[in-house]
Amino acid sequence: MKAVTSRYLVTGGAGYVGGTVARHLVEAGHEVTVLDDLSTGFAEGVPAGAEFIEGRIQDAAKWLDGSYGGVLHFAAFSQVGESVAKPEKYWENNVGGTMALLAAMRTAGVRKLVFSSTAATYGEPESVPITESARTAPTSPYGASKLAVDHMIGGECAAHGLAAVSLRYFNVAGAYGACGERHDPESHLVPLVLEVALGRREAINVYGDDYPTPDGTCVRDYIHVADLAEAHLLALDAMTPGEHLVCNLGNGNGFSVREVVETVRRVTGHPVPEVIAARRPGDPAVLVASAETARERLGWHPSRPDLADIVRDAWAFTQERERGRA
């Protein structure tokens, strides 16, 4: 029997995570339209087989109509440091943009939404692993903007019968073929360490080695972008009208900054010099997810939890990109 397919709008589908999910949707036989303004994404990140509209979510009403079975919403700014320096940029895009998108969905009668939320909505955790019922106290305008959107979506479900899932990602890493990480500036650990292995950076800064963790460096929960993508497809089938489901997505395994650096050395065979720098304000010692809700409600089981596999796929993407630059 042929699986039921649908038409989906993927906002931010020229970016790292949105592009990977769009590719999974195409591979599953769905019809995909990517809406992206290329502010931080790349046209070549839109997967083959997807339609591409270059435009802003703020104008989503121009394109959204009742032919869409749902929206997967990735479009946002996501640099924590920049959000502290320019909070208004984050409120305008992440919150204002989503408000316009929700209004367009209401008008068009599109009643399914998957939203990219983040572990940054929790801020400093009171205990780990972090569950969805943990206190939300974001420490940056970025995290606050994502939490505000989660609240908006909750209201939309309760008042207007939207079916929605907010997926709170922990540290996304790895690559899926040509879909890999290329933020500018890059702030995520795995691609930064790989740039050192490649010789494009001299050393990796380790921000603090005196945390109360086994090796003194911060511990984070790394999740393979392909595992993350699979959760989005499962979410589309698990949602019900009027309910806003919030699920953490992580492996429940923490790896320290030192373990990541060590794994990159092992996988790439290149030396990676480290420089110990001062702690960054607002960097908690340990951020690890409890993904029990995703397992129970979505039936999600990450199949690539090994850090070496995550790094290997990211390294293959990085080398391919480097060949493209030559």
* 9, 10, 17, 110: residue in contact with ligand NAD (rule CB under 6 A): 17
Is residue 169 within the footprint of ligand NAD (CB under 6 A)?
Answer: yes
Q: State how far the Cα of 235 lies from the Cα of 212, in Å rounded to an integer.
A: 36
Query: 17 or 206, CB closer to ligand NAD?
Result: 17
Least spacing, CB of residue 159 vs ligand NAD, in Å: 24
Helices 189-198 and 307-325 pack at an angle, to 10 degrees, of 50
User: In the stretch 127-166, what mask flags binding to ligand NAD with x, by CB under 6 A?
Assistant: ----------------------------------------
- Work out how close the CB of 195 gets to ligand NAD at its nearest, in angstroms, rounded to a whole number: 16
Q: How far is the CB of 197 from ligand NAD (least distance, A)?
A: 20
Minimal distance in Å, beta carbon 20 to ligand NAD? 8
Closest Cα partner for 21 from 200, 190, 245, 249?
249
Size of the site for ligand NAD (CB under 6 A): 29
Among 226, 233, 255, 247, which Cα is nearest to 292's? 247
- Restricted to residues 174-193, the positions that interact with ligand NAD (CB under 6 A) are 183
Q: How far is 143 from 120, CA to CA, in rounded Å?
A: 5
Give the integer Cα–Cα distance in Å for 149 and 131: 19
The catalytic position among 8, 68, 90, 142 is 142
State the amino acid at position 126 in one-letter form: E
42 conformational bin, left if phi > 0, alpha if psi -120 to 50, beta if neither: beta
Known catalytic residue at 176? no
Please report how close the Cβ of residue 213 comes to ligand NAD at its closest, in angstroms: 20
Q: Does residue 118 sit in helix, strand or coil?
A: strand
Among 52, 74, 90, 315, binds ligand NAD (CB under 6 A): 74
Q: Does 39 bind ligand NAD (CB under 6 A)?
A: yes
DSSP H or E segment with residue 280: none
Per CB under 6 A, the segment of 52-60, 103-111, 284-292, 309-317 that binds ligand NAD is 52-60
Residue 148 parent element (H or E): helix 141-160
Under the binding rule (CB under 6 A), the answer on residue 18 touching ligand NAD is yes
Contact status: 251 vs ligand NAD (CB under 6 A): no
**Pick from 184, 188, 177: which is nearest to 226 by CA?**
177
State in angstroms the smallest separation of the CB of 80 from ligand NAD: 10
Residue 12 within binding range of ligand NAD, rule CB under 6 A = yes
Q: Taking CB under 6 A as the rule, which mask of x and - marks residues 90-109 in contact with ligand NAD?
A: ---x---x------------
**44 alpha carbon, distance to own chain's centre:** 19
Cβ contact 164:239 at 8 Å: yes
Phi/psi for 161 (5° steps) reads 75, 15
The answer to whether residues 13 and 19 touch, using CB atoms and an 8 Å cutoff, is yes
79 is a contact residue toward ligand NAD (CB under 6 A):
no
Q: Minimal CA–CA distance to 29: which of 1, 53, 57, 52?
A: 1
Q: Which residues bind ligand NAD (CB under 6 A)?
A: 11-12, 14-18, 35-41, 56-58, 74-76, 78, 93, 97, 116, 118, 169, 171-172, 183
Catalytic positions? 142
